[in-house]
């Protein structure tokens, strides 16, 4: 089986030249420098250095930098995926090829995500270093990277969807980045406000569940809550958390909930993006075909369409499609 040509083309364009290497280098240097500064700070504070949490703090720092970098890169790497084809006027020639809209969409997304995953991968040695320093487990490193990967997919799909909606890359960029900023900065306080207000006169467990799920939509808030809650006691682990303040309420950890919700939304948006890409390629539905045939018959044109059987509804669409393909007109 041959690789999707879109992936080959996109990766050629993305990885050729110095830009990709420079970005990865800057990404790694930034993480390393921030890590070293944090390490120096920790050792200047006696109490922190002796608390045995050096590795954990360093791990949080790495994840924080990764979160910021990947938020920007994942969303911006797809916002021009389709709109740039329109801007460069290569859209039409792409659409007349035998590539399906799904192949085009998935090819664009895969190439963008391959680059994001590379950024996640290159930081893994630094994360493993924090495990060796102590205070953080390998399972947490794994969870952190899975969550980052899912976040990249989620933001990548949002960027891609905006790219199919907006005609220009500028518009798609603005909309996608605006949405991501809203999710990262404004969403958690809104949910906090909602839960604080709602808990005044309602069943607090129900409000907790709603707030927990809504908060999980914001990856930053979900990660912080997950790592915080998982360290609160023996009742919580990396997958399940006892909701703080509740009597006996256990829920999926916010990072896991985020992953599930984000992947579901991503599938839905991908589907929408595919449909938006090329409406003309979609075969006519049974209803549309029937309407077309009726309209043409009403127009006084002779159509060689045989009487279609009223029964066998399952095969009707196929028969109609075949009839439409075989129809002949005469004036």
Which residue ranges make up the site for other proteins (CB under 8 A)?
2, 5-6, 8-9, 12-13, 16-17, 85, 88-99, 279-281, 283-284, 289, 292, 295-296, 299, 301, 321, 324-325, 327, 329, 331
3-state secondary structure 18-84: CHHHHHHHHHHHHHHHHHHHHHHHHHHCHHHHHCCCHHHHHHHHHHHHHHHHHHHHHHHCCCCCCHH
In 10 A of CB 65, how many CB atoms? 19
| Residue (of 203, 20, 227) closest to 118 by Cα position | 20
If residue 307 lies in a helix (H) or strand (E), which one and from where to where? none
CB of 88 to other proteins, least distance (A): 4
| Choice between 47 and 89, CB closer to other proteins | 89
CB of 86 to other proteins, least distance (A): 9
CB of 326 to other proteins, least distance (A): 9
Residue 316 dihedral angles phi and psi, to the nearest 5°: -60, -45
| Choice between 260 and 291, CB closer to other proteins | 291
Q: How many helices (H) and strands (E) does the chain have?
A: 16, 4
DSSP state of 135: S
| Choice between 97 and 231, CB closer to other proteins | 97
CB of 55 to other proteins, least distance (A): 41
| Choice between 263 and 317, CB closer to other proteins | 317
CB of 324 to other proteins, least distance (A): 4
| Choice between 5 and 134, CB closer to other proteins | 5
Q: Which two tokens stand for residue 78?
A: 């797809």
CB of 163 to other proteins, least distance (A): 16
| Gyration radius (Cα) of the chain, Å | 26
């Amino acid at each position: 089986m041959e690789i999707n040509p879109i992936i080959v083309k996109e990766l050629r364009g993305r990885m050729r030249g110095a830009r990709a290497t420079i970005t990865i280098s800057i990404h790694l240097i930034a993480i390393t420098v921030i890590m070293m500064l944090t390490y120096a700070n920790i050792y200047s504070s006696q109490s922190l250095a002796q608390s045995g949490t050096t590795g954990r703090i360093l791990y949080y720092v790495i994840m924080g930098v990764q979160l910021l970098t990947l938020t920007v890169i994942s969303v911006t790497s797809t916002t021009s995926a389709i709109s740039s084809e329109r801007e460069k006027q290569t859209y039409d020639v792409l659409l007349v090829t035998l590539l399906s809209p799904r192949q085009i969409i998935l090819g664009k997304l895969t190439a963008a995500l391959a680059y994001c995953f590379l950024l996640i991968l290159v930081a893994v040695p630094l994360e493993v270093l924090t495990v060796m320093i102590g205070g953080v487990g390998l399972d947490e490193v794994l969870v952190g990277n899975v969550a980052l990967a899912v976040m990249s997919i989620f933001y990548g799909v949002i960027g891609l969807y905006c790219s199919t909606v907006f005609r220009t890359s500028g518009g798609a960029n603005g909309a996608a980045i605006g949405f991501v900023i809203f999710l990262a900065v404004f969403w958690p306080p809104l949910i906090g406000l909602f839960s604080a207000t709602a808990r005044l006169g309602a069943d607090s467990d129900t409000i907790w569940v709603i707030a927990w799920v809504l908060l999980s939509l914001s990856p930053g808030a979900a990660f912080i809550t997950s790592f915080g809650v998982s360290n609160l006691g023996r009742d919580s682990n990396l997958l399940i958390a006892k909701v703080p303040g509740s009597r006996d309420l256990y829920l999926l950890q916010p990072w896991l909930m985020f992953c599930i919700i984000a992947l579901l939304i991503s599938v839905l948006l991908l589907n929408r993006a595919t449909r938006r890409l090329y409406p003309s390629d979609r075969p006519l539905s049974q209803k549309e075909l029937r309407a077309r045939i009726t309209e043409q018959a009403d127009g006084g044109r002779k159509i060689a369409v045989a009487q279609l059987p009223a029964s066998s509804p399952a095969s009707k669409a196929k028969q109609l499609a075949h009839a439409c393909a075989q129809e002949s007109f005469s004036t």
